[in-house]
Chains A and B, each alone.
Chain A
Amino acid sequence: MSELPEMTQGQEEPAGSTAVWTLSLVGAFAFMILYGVLYPNHPFPGLGDILPLFSELGSSVVWFFIAGIILGLSMLLAMLVGESIAE
């Protein structure tokens, strides 16, 4: 009697999948632009709450750089926790 494999996830990466996620990204950006055109005075949900936060911090571009470092350190912490739990 043959045993069924525990995992049925494929390992292939067809060229079409790249086209799909590229189109998805383009579509998402197109939607954001369209939203701005249709509702010019409405802040984008979610993103509209984040961007003013940066302006509250002093309207300096440096906060985007600091956010990058904080993101990097957070990813490090998440990796450390994740890998330790996986161990």
Chain B
Amino acid sequence: MEIRTLFISYVIWLFFVRYLTITGLGPFGSFARDISTFMLGKGLGPAADLMEDRAGGAAKTWFAHGIFWFIIAATLSFLGMWTAYEPNALHSLGAIGYSPSEAQATAAIHVVTAFGALSMMLMAAGFAMQGRLSGGRMANEATTALIAFAWSAVVAAGLILSHTDLIGTSSWFELPPVYYILLTLLALPLFANHLLTMANSGSPVMIPQWFIVMGYAAFIWLGAVSMFLLGGENHTLSWLLVKVLFGGWLLSQALGIAHHVIPSALGVPLWSRSLATLTLFGTFLTFSPLGAVASVPSMGPFMQAMVAILLSLSLVPLIATVVNLTKTASGRVMESYGVKFTILGVMLLIPISFGSLFVSVSAFGGGNELAHIASTLDTLALWGVFGMIALGSAHLLFPQVTGRELFSCAKTKMTFWFATVGIVGFGTSQFIVDYVNNSIGAADVSLALEEAGVSAVGVGDVQAFAAIMFYGVALAGVFAAQNMLQGSFRGAVLSDGAPAPNVITAQMAISGTTSIRNLLSAGAGVDTVLTVDGGSSGGRISLSDISPTEEVSEEADADAELEEEESEQPVVEIPGNLSKMLKAELVELAKAAGVSTTGTKSDLVDRLSA
């Protein structure tokens, strides 16, 4: 099947899901809601009673499974890197029947990393986020938690299958296509649960929710279309599947969570709504450069040009994301480790995407001249971008679903530094290995070396260093898991999950209905004035702040002191024509009035007028 037809079917399916989401399951109406509610609940029979239907229960279970697979996946990745340095390192395990080929080991890493660790952690964060944005809980928590066990079982089965002769040659989709159908079948009720949760809440759908829902749509399409692989080897289809796996599924989930975690943790609204919308559409309507290892040996010049354009356009939403989220967190990144992890992951998007773009363009029907760095770029995208955002969500959203803080701040710091140093150290050293090996392995270079009677030493030690650096990521997973586990039992109890805003939006418009939680997340404070324009159903709510930022958080403590100080301060009369005064005069006046004397003339006028 042609890539054009497949991509058009993908886009039509996404627009259909968007229509369903906007209309709250629209044409299917209440029947669809009732049948979904039944199927997710009592339809399962006794199995539905296995898990407690408690708010946050689903996300907690998915996080627990996700962090377990995170450790396994990071360990397998480390071993893959180590065996590149020392191929016989694990040969002694052959005595107990474990002696995978390179292709089998790679397939195992792919299935556990993409479908186990990262998918499960990002899905967990999606449930936690969806619950908070839609009235406090998912439509059905118990069944969603139960599916986490089934998903883990399928990932474990994939891990075993990847060590057999059943694996194929399709990159990232090495297992038999029916395996991916199984994952899609498990994702369907989760997708329905998200739709149902949003339909029940009645709140306007926010940008992070769009990312999550559309990501599920992409994942379901992925499983269904992978069946075409049964028809034999198809490079174009494999290429598209990898692009949708990385861009439509993993990237969309990660971006959705990043767009929630940063504003939610800091209590500030997103810097730009238009950039967030651009990111949303751009993510799904372009080909992601991530997943650089996928290649198509030959392709016509027209399709090559079209794909190159769509690949290049994908940088627009990525750059928009980085600018939007860094501006949102501007100057306040250090306040939360959840934000630190997330911002680091988001910022790594730029260099990794640029590198992957060059590789992807040359890999689609071109000479694939940069194939030697493709695998490293994919590993960096998985662990540096998605892995860091997943860890960020675990540090922010896991405490919210358990109701307890993480156990140890020291372990949180260790997790951050081990992961950061691990990713950066691995990336730099592995690129050295890739380039040197590629140069030494080139036909003309090896011929010249042979003629000169020189044998190249290679970069084995640097390869070992890269593997050791990556070991830090596996350790970060262990520390995060310990912190989460102990925190869920013995962490300090969270008082109120609502974020405390200390930068309040000057003006903001929200259409449709909303909840107090959403208003708080958007930056409203206790002194924010709500003005309703228009009718009660179709009107707009605009928020305007009447209180300075710092006063909100410190107001209670400072009230008594302020009253005392006010009674002692001399009364200064502020003239009406402030803008006509000289700056020096304004500074004197500000001193006398006891307000800050810094800033421009207009700042001083504003301050004195206030």
Contact = CB atoms under 8 A, between A and B. Distances in A.
Interface of A: 56-58, 60, 62, 65-66, 68-69, 72-73, 75-76, 79-80, 83, 86-87
Contact of B89 (A58, A68, A83): A58
Contact of B475 (A58, A68, A79, A86): A68
Nearest to A77: B485
B478 interface: yes
Contacts of B89: 58, 60, 62
A55 B485 CA distance: 34
Interface in B417-445: none
**Which residue, A66, A72, A73, A86, has most C-beta atoms of chain B within 10 A?**
A72
Nearest to A65: B471
B407 to A, nearest CB: 10
Contacts of B474: 69
B71 A73 contact: yes
Contacts of A86: 489
**Which residue, A57, A69, A86, has most C-beta atoms of chain B within 10 A?**
A69
Interface in B424-481: 468, 471, 474-475, 478, 481
B591 interface: no
A38 B502 CA distance: 67
Contacts of A87: 489
Contacts of A60: 86, 88-90
Interface residues of B, number: 22
Given A57-B92, A83-B490, A69 B75 contact: yes
Contact of B91 (A58, A72, A73, A83): A58
Interface string B68-86: 0001000100110010001
A22 B89 CA distance: 36
A80 B86 CA distance: 35
B78 A65 contact: yes
B482 interface: yes
B486 interface: yes
Contact of A65 (B71, B82, B92, B489): B82
B485 A58 contact: no
**Ranked 5 nearest A-B pairs via Cβ:** A72-B478, A83-B489, A58-B92, A60-B89, A62-B89
Contacts of A73: 71, 478
Given A62-B79, A62-B82, A79-B485, A69 B88 contact: no
A81 B485 CA distance: 11
29 contacts: A57-B92, A58-B88, A58-B89, A58-B90, A58-B92, A60-B88, A62-B79, A62-B89, A65-B82, A65-B468, A66-B75, A68-B471, A68-B475, A69-B75, A69-B474, A72-B71, A72-B475, A72-B478, A72-B482, A73-B71, A75-B478, A76-B478, A76-B482, A76-B485, A79-B485, A80-B485, A83-B486, A83-B490, A87-B489
Contacts of A69: 71, 75, 474, 478
Contacts of B489: 83, 86-87
Given A69-B474, A80-B485, 20 more contacts: A56-B92, A58-B89, A58-B90, A58-B91, A60-B88, A62-B82, A62-B90, A65-B468, A66-B75, A69-B71, A72-B475, A72-B481, A73-B71, A73-B478, A75-B482, A76-B478, A79-B485, A83-B485, A83-B490, A87-B489
